[in-house]
A and B are shown apart, each in its own frame.
Chain A
Amino acid sequence: MSPSAGAITIVPEPYPEARLGSWLLVIVGAMIATEVPLLFLGWVALLAALATARQFRRHVAFILIVLLPLAVVLIVVWWGFVGAPPGMPRGSAPMLGLHHALRTTLRLGIIAAVSQLMFLTIQPETIWPAARRLGLRGQPLSVVLASFALGASMTRVVDQTVATLKARGAIRPNRFSTRVFAVPILLANIWNRLLADQFQRVELKWAPQRTLQRVERIQESVQWSVCHSFVAILIALAWLFVCALSKFYG
């Protein structure tokens, strides 16, 4: 779909405002909730939603790289070393310390899962209109789009620079010192090449093709789904309500 085509496309996605609103409501709920089983149920529900949206693998990567190591350290610290939750004397309540560690882990799991569900499920072709709908226009919108576009060239520049340094023997995987000393060379190379790429883009594309002026004139060409928006907000409100109930009457 060309964003400048002018034709309205109906997409099965909630309105960007509903997406942001429900994201916030779920996070507020997770921060209010204190019961570990409730947080666990919320996380499992989000995992199911992520699996349905085919974003489960990314969350598994997050669990393995970030959440699991964090959970282990939290449990060791609050259950093992401190033996109590914050605000209580050391060693006075190990089980409450464990409870605190699990609650923190599950909160982080929910925050991560809902963020991935809300943002990774945006279709690439709706990023542009969604950003416009949320008030990004003109220069900021151009910069956002250019930043996404630069991602590919950044990965290429990093790979090429690392490969060059390895080929010259400047980085040896087993030596910490060579890795540390390679970082400044790497960053200088990356920065200069990224700037050169960007300046070339300005001279060859932005200036002659009047890119910024064209971005300004582009009309919104997407119609979001009211039904999806309603469901997203309703589920988030229900979660918030249950969390508030468990906090005050649990």
Chain B
Amino acid sequence: MDNESQAAIAERNRLYDLAIIPAGVALNLAAALTVTAAKIPLFLDAIGTLSVVLLSRAPGRDPMWAAMFVGVFSFVIIAIFQNPTIIWFSHVQAAIAVYAFYILRPVVRRAEADSKFGIGWWAKIVAIGIGLGLVAALLSAPVAALLFSGITPNGPGAVVALLLASGQNLYKAVITGGLSIEPVDKSLQTIAAVLLYLSSPWKTRAAVK
């Protein structure tokens, strides 16, 4: 009887783990929609990806695969219904999932276990966000240069245009432009994802069980 109820709980947890994936996709889309509607010059397109990495309790590397799916699939949906050119940046979402799984998740989980969320810890989260921004800027640069000639529909297009006008070569301008916006954008997203994780109902459920 006891075994049976444990099996039922395990099955329910597995279903919850699957259920947060579509919620992550929807959060990515909602954040992107909100930023566009509010006319804020940021991407905010990976909060769902980061939140799923933090929230998923699946074993092994499954949270990473789940987050990768969330990131890539939300770009596929945006590509189908809004802007088809965004699909070429899907690899950045995959990299965000890997980075968040190996670097962000352990830091958050350790702090949660020790219940230590001091200023030093938040500084570490910001530093992780800046690192994520560097990764995103470097990975998106080749696509931005080769496909878009440096001028992407959103993000650092204006900065790149100014740098090109000032005489910098294309690749330098694209990388510098990316580095000027991505670290800010990604550290904001990392902070947002951590805050969402710390306030999410999943934690309440885990505590109740």
Given contacts A66-B85, A190-B30, contact A198 B149 (CB under 8 A): no
Q: How many Å from the CB of B80 to the closest CB on chain A?
A: 5
> Is B207 engaged at the interface, CB distance under 8 Å to the other chain?
no
Q: How many Å from the CB of A192 to the closest CB on chain B?
A: 6
Chain A neighbourhood of B21, CB < 8 A: 143, 146-147
Q: Which of A73, A74, A87, A207 contacts B12 (CB 8 A)?
A: A207
Chain A neighbourhood of B184, CB < 8 A: none
Q: Which of A37-45, A114-122, A228-236 contacts B (4 or more CB under 8 A)?
A: A114-122
Per-position 1/0 for A131-149, Cβ under 8 A of B: 0000000011011101101
> Is A202 engaged at the interface, CB distance under 8 Å to the other chain?
yes
> Is B89 engaged at the interface, CB distance under 8 Å to the other chain?
no
Q: Which of B92-100, B110-118, B130-138, B163-171 contacts A (4 or more CB under 8 A)?
A: B163-171
> Is A1 engaged at the interface, CB distance under 8 Å to the other chain?
no
Interface majority SS (helix, strand, loop, mixed), chain A? helix
> Is B102 engaged at the interface, CB distance under 8 Å to the other chain?
no
Chain B neighbourhood of A66, CB < 8 A: 83, 85, 153
**CB–CB B30/A143 < 8 A:** no
Chain A neighbourhood of B169, CB < 8 A: 86
A187 to B47, CA, bound (A): 9
Q: Which of B26, B34, B151 contacts A194 (CB 8 A)?
A: B26
Name the residue of chain A whose CB is nearest to the CB of B160: A77
Contact-residue size bin, chain B (C-beta under 8 Å from the other chain) = 35 or more
Per-position 1/0 for A74-113, Cβ under 8 A of B: 1011100110001100100000000011001001100110
> Is A206 engaged at the interface, CB distance under 8 Å to the other chain?
yes
**CB–CB A206/B73 < 8 A:** no
A66 to B148, CA, bound (A): 12
| A25-49 contacts to B (CB < 8 Å) | none
Q: How many Å from the CB of B56 to the closest CB on chain A?
A: 12
Q: How many Å from the CB of B134 to the closest CB on chain A?
A: 23
> Is B181 engaged at the interface, CB distance under 8 Å to the other chain?
no
Given contacts A86-B170, A146-B22, contact A158 B149 (CB under 8 A): no
Chain B neighbourhood of A162, CB < 8 A: 37
Chain B neighbourhood of A171, CB < 8 A: 38
Chain A neighbourhood of B19, CB < 8 A: 146, 198-199, 201-202, 206
> Is A151 engaged at the interface, CB distance under 8 Å to the other chain?
yes
Chain B residues in the interface with A (C-beta under 8 A): 11-12, 15-16, 18-23, 25-27, 29-31, 33-35, 37-40, 44, 47, 51, 69, 73, 77, 79-85, 87, 147-151, 153, 157, 161, 164-165, 167, 169-170, 192, 195-196, 199-202, 205
User: 4 closest A-B pairs (Cβ-Cβ)?
Assistant: A81-B165, A115-B84, A154-B26, A112-B84
A-B contact pairs, 13 of them (CB 8 A): A70-B151, A70-B157, A73-B157, A82-B165, A120-B80, A139-B18, A147-B21, A147-B22, A147-B26, A194-B26, A198-B23, A207-B12, A212-B18
| Apart from A183-B34, A183-B40, A191-B51, 17 more pairs, CB < 8 Å | A66-B153, A77-B164, A86-B170, A104-B147, A111-B84, A115-B79, A116-B80, A120-B80, A147-B22, A147-B25, A147-B73, A151-B26, A157-B30, A179-B39, A187-B196, A195-B200, A202-B19
